[in-house]
Amino acid sequence: MYLVKDIGGAICLMAAALVLLGTWPVVLAVLERRGRLPQHTYLDYSITNFLAAVLIALTFGQIGGDTPETPNFLTQLAQPQDYWPSIMFALAGGVVITLGTVATQYGWAYVGLSVTEVMASSLKVVIGTTLNYFLDGRINRAEVLFPGVGCFLIAACLGSLVHSSNAADNQEKLSNSRNYSTGNTPKEDLTQHLLQVEEEPKDCEEAKPAVPNNKAVEKALAGTADFLIDLEDKRSIKVLGSNTLVGLAIVTFAGVCYSLFAPAFNLATNDQWHTLRDGVPHLVVYTAYFYFCLSSLVVGVALNVWCLYRPMAGVPRSTLRAYVGDGEGRGLALLAGLVSGLGNAFTFMAGQAAGYAAADSVQALPLVSTFWGVVLFGEYRRSSRRTYTLLGSMLFMFVVAMAVLMASSAHRKPL
């Protein structure tokens, strides 16, 4: 079994995880903006996310000698009766991260990719890092760690302000648009417009094939009212003109779920509550990650199959038959699952070496997501100076927080 034993190696894994975990949300957001149903996308995503755990376990988890103190992956997999308390913690971690990821999918549509990642990650750090600090026996330097946590909290507050400011900018663009000069409020005009374009059947199998207008959004300049309207017509989750608090509530729920999965994984691999029998070695990170992703797969598939027939947020109803036949964008969804699986694996490998509290520095992933959001999606184009100022301040706080959390890294001590 391969173990990371030095701080330098742990930091390299954190850096790689930062890029990977900041990229996969962009891929899923692209598919949603193209009109692919989030249920179809997540079902594909779940498959390769689990396969990434299997790949990591059968490679890194089998490297080196198999000793009683550090058994390999397959050895522990064959003895679940000895490790069931730790397995339960790993399974619980997989459940909460799945709930957070599903909520995040809808959060991207409501508040944008950048703000969703900022707020969810910041809440994860504020709650999860504090829990991991105490679970890890306070191996990270508190005088360095908690100022970094404070920076994440400030970034979360700034993220909320960015969303509110950008939403106000969008409403102003709609009110000034020549397409919405009926005398009603922008929200009333938008609602009327969406009712006109949503007269098609809400069942994917009943809907008649339509010629996709893949260049509709590209023809409108990014950040303009026409751009916002074209995007709303095309995307699978209709949210433009909705209540701001709905999006913030979804993202807050996702952040709370995200804050619990790393502490659960920490308990699974280090047994701080001494639930294992005397003489039984701890569950290695690769075995724990296998069970973690297994429960994520089961819950993710069950939840999204249910959502096929009982969709949320105005998403059209679908079926398993429609999902199987929906091959458009499947490759990107499968890629996103693989990237996410590898990113989480690297995070846990680094956390086992340098402390899970320090490994939470990868939650600065909005730095990557915001870059892609601006470059690919035109987020914040033609926004107000106030929005740009808040956005810059938010990103600056993330850079500071990431650096401070990495600086708090320390060698793990035997428990």
Q: Would you say residue 152 has pLDDT above 70?
A: yes
Residue 138 pLDDT > 50: yes
pLDDT band at residue 262 under the 50/70/90 scheme: very high
**Predicted local distance difference test score (pLDDT) of residue 242:** 58
First to last CA, the chain: 20
**pLDDT score of 113:** 64
Taking residues 13-34, what's their average pLDDT? 89
Q: Nearest Cα to 107, choosing from 228, 245, 232?
A: 245
pLDDT score of 17? 93
pLDDT band at 244 (very low <50, low <70, confident <90, very high): low
Q: What percent of the chain has pLDDT over 70?
A: 82
Residues 173-213 have pLDDT tens digits of 777 765 544 445 544 444 444 444 444 445 665 544 444 44
Looking at per-residue pLDDT, the higher value among 299 and 181 belongs to: 299
Q: Is the pTM of this model over 0.85?
A: no
pLDDT beyond 60 at 116: yes
> How confident is the model over 312-329, as a mean pLDDT?
91
Give pLDDT, residue 307.
93
pLDDT > 50? residue 369:
yes
What residue type is 42 in one-letter code?
Answer: Y
Q: Which of 364, 365, 362, 351 is nearest to 289 (CA)?
A: 351
Give the model's confidence band at 108: pLDDT under 50 very low, under 70 low, under 90 confident, else very high: confident
pLDDT at residue 216 greater than cutoff 60: no
* Average pLDDT over the chain, rounded to an integer: 83
203 - beta bridge partners?
317
Task: Please enumerate in sequence order all residues whose Cβ is within 8 A of that of 343, keeping only pairs 6 or more positions apart, or say none.
Answer: 16, 17, 19, 20, 21, 24, 362
The CA radius of gyration of the chain, in Å to the nearest whole number, is: 22
HEC sequence for the chain: CCCCCCHHHHHHHHHHHHHHHHHHHHHHHHHHHCCCCHHHHHHHHHHHHHHHHHHHHHHHHHCCCCCCCCCCHHHHHCCHHHHHHHHHHHHHHHHHHHHHHHHHHHHHHHHCHHHHHHHHHHHHHHHHHHHHHHHCCCCCCHHHHHHHHHHHHHHHHHHHHHHHHHHHHHHHHHHHCCCCCCCCCHHHHHHHHHHHHCCCCCECCCCCCCCCCCCHHHHCCCCCHHHHHHHHHHCCCCCCCCCHHHHHHHHHHHHHHHHHHHHHHHHHHHCCCCCCCCCCCCCCHHHHHHHHHHHHHHHHHHHHHHHHHCCCCCCCECCHHHHHHCCCCHHHHHHHHHHHHHHHHHHHHHHHHHCHHHHHHHHHCHHHHHHHHHHHHCCCCCCCHHHHHHHHHHHHHHHHHHHHHHHCCCCCCCC
